[in-house]
């Protein structure tokens, strides 16, 4: 049996960085330099982790690893690196991972400086009470300016950067200094070995061979193979089959004590049965009070997913059920739409999450899907005092029963070179934003805005990137629900309401939004043999209208009846086009209309 690990010989940390600033490269270097993975295995190792990432769609756990490091003081330390998802959609998961460690390396690209995502993540680390070691990466680049970036870190984050460590994760320069700093500058974990078991569920995933794998951080007590443990939120009891640490491959271990991080398997059927942030204790003589801060997964963005071909409905149902088994934060329920037939209303943590799931359905399950415009959850305060969640504008009840409506607001942080600032302010203003703060760090502006989430979920990020030629970075947190003057706008095509196109809008913007929608639809819907009115309405009141005039001739008319092959070709083409159309009453609406119509130009 191995010797018990002393708490003061453990350091737990995460790496905080903006995308592309070198988090993965640094993690690989730390692993390599401590011989955690033999040199010749390194390449294979990296490929493996990429496969996992690809399989899971998003970088989540590829770089969680236990490193053994012989420090200059002559003692060997266990360094546990926990990888955190970098994207805002997973803010809650990030906050839990941060609670599982005591410190962070803040990696900033020395040729770029602090970006919006750096900020959002570093604030999470500060909230979790971390000791933070700033690291300036990519100093091998000619454009690197470590002194300027140090100042930048101090100005923008308010963190002392005088001891920031200059490194190149690419060449390996400075990596030994990082390892030493982890030991000397980050605190050791605390915990009581004699106390009842208290461990936090940090993450879980499905492994093809092992089934559900649960990653934990032990706070107090000791967990051993064979133990019977209880998850305090779900109240389910499991027997520990396998206990291991990640190096990064799994290495079995007889026990995990306070301050340690590892994984277990316990014949858990679905990832859905595990909740990030849950407290794990022993079935008998367990702890009384769970760890604070648990939150059930809460989808915030909803959209409809419908098969293009109605015959694919069962296949879509199977695929969605399978994906949901491994993703507790993805919700779905069946939905029928007059325009789109049978499909599902699905809930996601955010836009990236939505895209990942939709891509997987299309790629892995080979489904052709119609995605309706994403919408947020509105809170309807009814006159009788009831508060209802509205997931789908089509379900909006009669207004006479509704007292007022609240919508989710976000606090957005945008960082941008100052030449684009004007465009950014205009974009935020157009989306009902309220400016909270504007500061400068060098020639980069940092703006904070209070914005309605509903105005951001659709194409805000695309617009932001396009008006700034990709130079802006953006991050947000949901702040609160707030009342506003919101109404449901319906779209009528040929006098019939098309559910999938209805949306919640601010009363003051309804006219302009309605006008833009009907104009866009007039372009998107092909002409028919008859005249088609396209209208936007609030309740019974029409606020905008366009008329699509009738088609004069049919497509084959210009073929003089003579050339049969040409005629057939045209008809075939028309038929193929039809597959991507939806029959609605007498009108056919092309699939792309459901998304394009909602895109707002400027
Ligand atoms: N020149 C130079 N390039 C580097 C250095 N460190 C990382 N890079 C490069 O920067 C790019 C991004 O590095 P990653 O390690 O993938 O960055 P990341 O922050 O993990 O990015 P995501 O995984 O996408 O969040 C890669 O092309 C790296 O090769 C460095 O020290 N010098």
Residue 277 in tokens: 């942030």
Q: How remote is the CA of residue 139 from the centroid of ligand 1, in Å?
A: 12
Tokens (6 digits) for 245: 């640490």
Q: How confident is the model at residue 95 (pLDDT cuts 50, 70, 90)?
A: confident
Residue 169 CB–ligand 1 contact under 6 Å:
yes
| pLDDT tens digits along 104-131 | 999 999 999 988 878 878 888 988 899 9
Helix (H, G, I), strand (E, B) or coil at 348: strand
In the Cβ-directed half-sphere of 150, how many Cα atoms lie within 13 Å?
11
Q: Which residue has the higher pLDDT, 352 or 201?
A: 201
42 confidence band (pLDDT: 50, 70, 90) = low
Average pLDDT over residues 335-349: 86
SS3 assignment, position 540: coil
Counting ligand 1 atoms within 8 A of each CB, the residue from 22, 64, 122, 149 with the most, and so the one to mutate, is 22
Task: Note the pLDDT of residue 587.
Answer: 84
Q: Hey, what are 151's tokens?
A: 């100042």
DSSP structure class, residue 550: P
> Is residue 22 a known part of a binding site?
yes
Residue 24, annotated ligand binder?
yes
- pLDDT confidence of residue 595: 64
Q: What is the ipTM of this complex?
A: 0.96
Residue the block writes with tokens 């994906």: 323
Mean pLDDT of 362-384: 89
pLDDT band of residue 167 (cuts 50, 70, 90) is very high
CA distance 22 to 28: 10
80 close to 103: Cβ distance less than 8 angstroms? no
Instruction: Decide whether any atom of ligand 1 lies within 6 Å of the 555 Cβ.
Output: no
Which residue would you say has higher pLDDT here, 39 or 457? 457
Residue that is written with structure tokens 């923008």 in the block: 156
Higher pLDDT: 294 or 319? It is 319
- The pTM of this model reads 0.73
Tell which one of 14, 16, 25 to mutate to probe ligand 1, the residue whose CB is within 8 A of the most ligand atoms.
25
pLDDT at 543 over 70: yes
Which of 121-125, 188-192, 279-283 shows the lowest mean pLDDT across its residues? 121-125
Look at residues 553, 507, 496 and name the one whose alpha carbon lies nearest to residue 527. 553
Name the nearest CA neighbour of 260 among 589, 514, 7, 585: 7
Cβ of 20 below 6 Å from ligand 1: yes
Residue ranges in 85-140 assigned as alpha helix (H): 91-99, 116-127
Nearest to 415 by CA among 372, 476, 462: 476
How sure is the predictor about 371, in pLDDT bands with cuts at 50, 70 and 90? confident
Say whether 25 counts as a known binding-site residue. yes
pLDDT of residue 363: 87
Q: Which residues pair with 376 in a beta bridge?
A: 301
In percent, the amount of the chain with pLDDT more than 70 equals 87
Q: Please give the pLDDT value at position 155.
A: 87
Does 178 sit in the ligand 1 pocket, CB within 6 Å?
A: no
375-400 mean pLDDT: 91
The residue assigned the tokens 């909230």 is 127
| Average pLDDT, rounded, for the chain | 85
Alpha carbon distance 194, 181 (integer Å): 30
Q: How far apart are CA 475 and CA 123, in angstroms?
A: 12
Q: Is 520 annotated as a binding residue?
A: no
Ligand 1 nearest-atom number relative to CA 167: 31
Is the minimum distance from the CB of 138 to ligand 1 under 6 angstroms? yes
At 319, list the tokens.
């695929």
Neighbours of 564 (CB within 10 A): 9
Residue 107 C-alpha to ligand 1 middle, in angstroms?
Answer: 11
Does the beta carbon of 53 sit less than 6 angstroms from any atom of ligand 1? no
Question: Using a 6 Å cutoff on CB, does residue 111 contact ligand 1?
Answer: no
- DSSP H helices in 235-350: 313-325
Contact 565, 489 (CB under 8 A): no
CA angle 313, 315, 316 (to 5 degrees): 65
Task: Read off the pLDDT of each residue in 250-272 and give the average, rounded to a whole number.
Answer: 93
Give the residue with greater pLDDT, 204 vs 142: 142
Q: Is 556 touching ligand 1 by the criterion CB < 6 Å?
A: no
Going by pLDDT thresholds of 50, 70 and 90, the confidence category of residue 599 is: low
**pLDDT score of 462:** 77
CB of 19 shorter than 6 A to ligand 1: yes
Owner of token pair 């210009």: 558
The residue whose CA has the least distance to atom 8 of ligand 1 is 22
Higher model confidence: residue 146 or residue 208?
146
How far is it, in rounded angstroms, from Cα 229 to Cα 236?
A: 8
pLDDT per position as a tens digit, 468-509: 887 788 888 788 999 999 999 999 999 988 888 888 999 998
User: Taking the alpha carbons of 144, 146, 147, 150 in that order, is the dihedral positive or negative?
Assistant: positive
Q: How confident is the model at residue 404 (pLDDT cuts 50, 70, 90)?
A: very high
Say if ligand 1 is within 6 A of residue 350 CB: no
Tokens, residue 283: 């079935």
Measured in degrees and rounded to the nearest 5, phi and psi for residue 239 equal -100, 135
Q: Is the dihedral of CA 20, 25, 27, 28 positive or negative?
A: positive
* 140 marked as part of a ligand binding site: yes
CA of 336 to the centre of ligand 1 (A): 45
Question: Residues 44-69: pLDDT tens digits?
Answer: 445 444 444 444 433 334 568 999 99
> By percentage, how much of the chain surpasses pLDDT 90?
50
Residue 288 reports pLDDT greater than 80: yes
pLDDT at 602: 39
- Return the beta strands (E) in 260-340 as ranges: 261-265, 279-282, 301-307, 331-337
Q: Is residue 177 a known part of a binding site?
A: no
Report strand pairing: 486-493 vs 496-497. antiparallel
Q: Which atom of ligand 1 is nearest to the CA of 169?
A: 31
What's the mean pLDDT in 324-345?
85
Of 17, 24, 173, which is best to mutate to test ligand 1, by the most ligand atoms within 8 angstroms of its C-beta? 24
- Burial zone of 252 (CB within 10 Å; 0-12 exposed, 13-18 middle, 19+ buried): exposed
Is the distance from the beta carbon of residue 170 to the nearest atom of ligand 1 less than 6 Å?
yes
């Amino acid at each position: 049996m191995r010797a018990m690990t002393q708490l003061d010989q453990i350091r737990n940390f995460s790496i905080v960085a903006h995308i592309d600033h070198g988090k993965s490269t640094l993690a690989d270097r730390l692993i390599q330099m401590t011989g955690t993975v033999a040199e010749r295995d390194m390449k294979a190792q990296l490929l493996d982790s990429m496969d996992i990432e690809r399989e899971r769609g998003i970088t989540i756990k590829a770089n969680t690893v236990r490193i053994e490091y012989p420090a200059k003081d002559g003692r060997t330390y266990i360094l546990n690196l926990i990888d955190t998802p970098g994207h805002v959609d997973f803010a809650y998961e990030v906050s839990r991972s941060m609670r599982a460690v005591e410190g962070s390396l803040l990696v900033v690209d020395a040729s770029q400086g602090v970006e919006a995502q750096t900020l959002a993540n570093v604030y999470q680390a500060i909230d979790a009470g971390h000791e933070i070691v700033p690291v300036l990466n990519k100093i091998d680049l000619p454009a690197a300016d470590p002194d300027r970036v140090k100042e930048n870190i101090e100005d923008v984050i308010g963190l002392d950067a005088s001891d920031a460590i200059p490194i190149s994760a690419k060449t390996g320069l400075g990596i030994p200094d990082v390892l030493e700093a982890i030991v000397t500058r980050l605190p050791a974990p605390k915990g009581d070995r004699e106390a009842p078991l208290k461990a936090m569920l940090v993450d879980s995933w499905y492994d093809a061979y092992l089934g559900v794998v649960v990653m934990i951080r032990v706070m107090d007590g000791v967990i051993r193979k064979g133990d019977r443990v209880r998850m305090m939120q779900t109240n389910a009891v499991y027997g520990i089959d396998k206990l291991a640490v990640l190096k990064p491959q799994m290495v079995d271990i007889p026990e995990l004590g306070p301050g340690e991080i590892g994984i277990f398997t316990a014949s858990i059927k679905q990832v859905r049965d595990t909740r990030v942030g849950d407290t794990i204790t022993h079935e008998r003589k367990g702890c009384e009070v769970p760890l604070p801060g648990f939150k059930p997964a809460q989808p915030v963005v909803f959209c409809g997913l419908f098969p293009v071909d109605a015959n694919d409905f069962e296949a879509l149902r199977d695929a969605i059920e399978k994906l949901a088994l491994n993703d507790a934060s993805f919700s779905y329920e069946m939905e029928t739409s007059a325009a789109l037939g049978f499909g599902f209303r699905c809930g996601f943590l955010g836009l990236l999450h939505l895209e990942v799931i939709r891509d997987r359905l299309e790629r892995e399950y080979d489904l052709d899907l119609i995605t309706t415009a994403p919408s947020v959850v509105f809170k309807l305060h009814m006159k009788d005092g009831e508060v209802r969640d509205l997931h789908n504008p089509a379900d909006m009840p009669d207004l006479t029963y509704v007292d007022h409506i609240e919508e989710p607001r976000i606090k957005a942080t945008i960082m941008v070179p100052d030449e684009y600032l004007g465009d950014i302010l205009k974009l935020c203003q157009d989306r009902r934003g309220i400016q909270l703060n504007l500061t400068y760090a060098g020639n980069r502006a940092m703006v904070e805005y209070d914005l309605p989430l509903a105005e951001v979920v659709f194409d805000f990020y695309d617009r932001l990137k396009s008006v700034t030629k990709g130079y802006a970075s953006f991050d947000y947190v949901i702040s609160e629900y707030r009342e506003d003057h919101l109404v449901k706008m319906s779209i009528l095509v040929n006098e019939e309401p098309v559910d999938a196109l209805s949306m919640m809008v601010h009363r003051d913007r309804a006219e302009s939004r309605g006008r833009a929608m009907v104009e866009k639809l007039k372009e998107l819907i092909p002409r028919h043999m008859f005249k088609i009115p396209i209208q936007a309405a609030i309740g019974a009141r029409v606020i905008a209208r366009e008329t699509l005039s009738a088609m004069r001739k049919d497509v084959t008319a210009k073929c003089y009846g003579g050339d049969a092959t040409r005629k057939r070709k045209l008809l075939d083409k028309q038929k193929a086009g039809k597959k991507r159309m939806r029959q609605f009453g007498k009108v056919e609406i092309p699939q792309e209309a459901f998304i394009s119509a909602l895109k707002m130009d400027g």
